[in-house]
């Protein structure tokens, strides 16, 4: 389903206008429907954060427009089990374009329609966004965090060196497993991006340093529990993760966060791996690391 027509259900006039303008900048047409009873051919319905009973309204939207994608517009919280996804407020048109493109791509795959060659939105192994496609949104998210004063964290994840080297088949197994571990650990509003063939970048809006360390540790622990069979070899992979965070009121850019996260990742590898490292935002001096304890495999070993 190609999404072209949207409706916004938001009682607050100023918020309705802001969401509607962002949808239009993303290339969508906004209908005049302001209540579920007025819905017609809309393919997307956004429920604003001012609704007093969003669950009830969502049920009515499902009844009136069962084929429409339902987004919950939220400035905080990021939990809406009654919606298909959360749309962070204020809306970033570039972010929305990518979210809609991803949903359309998944819908095509569900009905057996092969994606067009050269689309390049998702990495075929991990199903993460490709960096070439998504970098504009990453830059915009950093600017948005600075402008509206909310925290933002970034992590770079890499596998530690594996004895005996990594074959193409093992590399695919590793990245597929990492994809599963990352998606189990992130929120709908976080962005996993294939930064390079063996590096994954995680952008976490509305997340401070403490929160990002919890996420990074959770991913490390999940990977450390895994066992892979590569021919006659039994592989127990571990991760090194570098974390950086942008704080409200501090001047920083996307490149600053990436550099700090890369420094942290290098420090984690230098200390033996299977750990999370971060550095200060001012002079990149190392702060205490977060080591991931060795965890017994939960999968049967040969």
Q: Which two tokens stand for residue 122?
A: 């998702």
Q: When comparing pLDDT for 149 and 283, which is higher?
A: 149
* Parallel, antiparallel or unpaired: strands 290-291 and 275-278: antiparallel
Give the C-alpha separation, 44 to 106, whole Å: 16
Give the C-alpha separation, 56 to 245, whole Å: 37
pLDDT digits (tens, 9 = 90+) for 235-283: 899 999 999 998 887 888 899 999 999 999 999 999 999 999 997 655 4
User: What H or E segment, with its residue span, contains residue 180?
Assistant: helix 168-185
Give a yes or no: residue 204 inside a domain: yes
143 and 273 assigned to the same domain: yes
Give a yes or no: residue 210 inside a domain: yes
Give the C-alpha separation, 155 to 213, whole Å: 9
Give the C-alpha separation, 212 to 195, whole Å: 18
Which DSSP category does 70 fall into?
E
Is 292 exposed, middle or buried, given 0-12, 13-18 or 19+ CB atoms closer than 10 A? buried
Number of domains composing the chain: 2
pTM of the model: 0.61
Give residue 113's pLDDT. Answer: 38
219 and 279 assigned to the same domain: yes
pLDDT above 70: percentage of residues in the chain: 84
101 and 135 assigned to the same domain: no
Of 61, 79, 110, which residue sits at a domain end? Answer: 110
72 and 139 assigned to the same domain: no
Q: Could you tell me the CATH number of the domain that includes residue 30?
A: 3.40.50.2300
274 and 159 assigned to the same domain: yes
Give residue 302's pLDDT. Answer: 27
Give a yes or no: residue 119 inside a domain: no
Of 81, 110, 139, which residue sits at a domain end? Answer: 110
Give the C-alpha separation, 44 to 280, whole Å: 42
Are the C-beta atoms of residues 215 and 204 closer than 8 Å to each other? Answer: yes
Label residue 39 left, alpha or beta by phi (over 0 means left) and psi (-120 to 50 means alpha).
Answer: beta
Give residue 117's pLDDT. Answer: 34
140 and 96 assigned to the same domain: no
Give the C-alpha separation, 254 to 243, whole Å: 13
Q: What are the two backbone dihedrals, phi and then psi, of residue 168, each rounded to the nearest 5 degrees?
A: -55, -40
Give residue 143's pLDDT. Answer: 87
Q: Could you tell me the CATH number of the domain that includes residue 207?
A: 3.30.70.270
* Parallel, antiparallel or unpaired: strands 191-196 and 199-205: antiparallel
Give the C-alpha separation, 214 to 2, whole Å: 37
102 and 136 assigned to the same domain: no
Give residue 225's domain range.
129-291
User: In which residue are the tokens 């992590």 written?
Assistant: 155
Q: Which residue from 152, 297, 275, 300 is spatially nearest to 216, judged by alpha carbons?
A: 275
Give a yes or no: residue 231 inside a domain: yes
180 and 240 assigned to the same domain: yes
């Amino acid at each position: 389903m190609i999404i072209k027509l949207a409706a916004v259900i938001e009682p607050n006039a100023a918020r309705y206008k802001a969401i509607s303008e962002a949808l239009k900048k993303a290339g969508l047409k906004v209908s005049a429907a302001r209540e579920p009873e007025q819905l017609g051919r809309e393919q997307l319905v956004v429920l604003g954060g001012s609704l007093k009973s969003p669950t009830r309204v969502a049920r009515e939207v499902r009844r009136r427009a069962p084929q429409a994608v339902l987004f919950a517009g939220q400035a905080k919280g990021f939990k809406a089990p009654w919606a298909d996804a959360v749309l962070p407020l204020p809306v970033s048109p570039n972010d929305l374009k990518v979210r809609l493109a991803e949903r359309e791509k998944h819908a095509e795959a569900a009905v057996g329609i092969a994606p067009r060659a050269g689309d390049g939105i998702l990495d075929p192994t991990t199903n993460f966004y490709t960096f070439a496609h998504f970098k504009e949104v990453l830059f915009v998210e950093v600017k948005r965090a600075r402008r509206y004063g909310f925290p933002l964290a970034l992590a770079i994840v890499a596998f530690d060196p594996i004895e005996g080297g990594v074959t193409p088949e093992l590399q695919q197994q590793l990245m597929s497993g990492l994809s599963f571990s990352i998606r189990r650990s992130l929120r709908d509003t976080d962005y996993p991006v294939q930064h390079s063939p063996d590096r994954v970048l995680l952008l976490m809006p509305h997340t401070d340093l403490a929160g990002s360390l919890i996420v990074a540790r959770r991913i490390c622990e999940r990977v450390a529990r895994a066992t892979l069979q590569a021919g006659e070899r039994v592989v127990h992979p571990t991760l090194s993760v570098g974390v950086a965070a942008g704080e409200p009121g501090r001047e920083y850019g996307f490149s600053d966060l990436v550099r700090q996260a890369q420094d942290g990742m290098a420090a984690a590898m230098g200390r033996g791996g299977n750990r999370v490292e971060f550095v200060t935002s001012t002079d990149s001096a190392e702060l205490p690391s977060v080591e991931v304890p060795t965890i017994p495999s939960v999968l049967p070993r040969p």
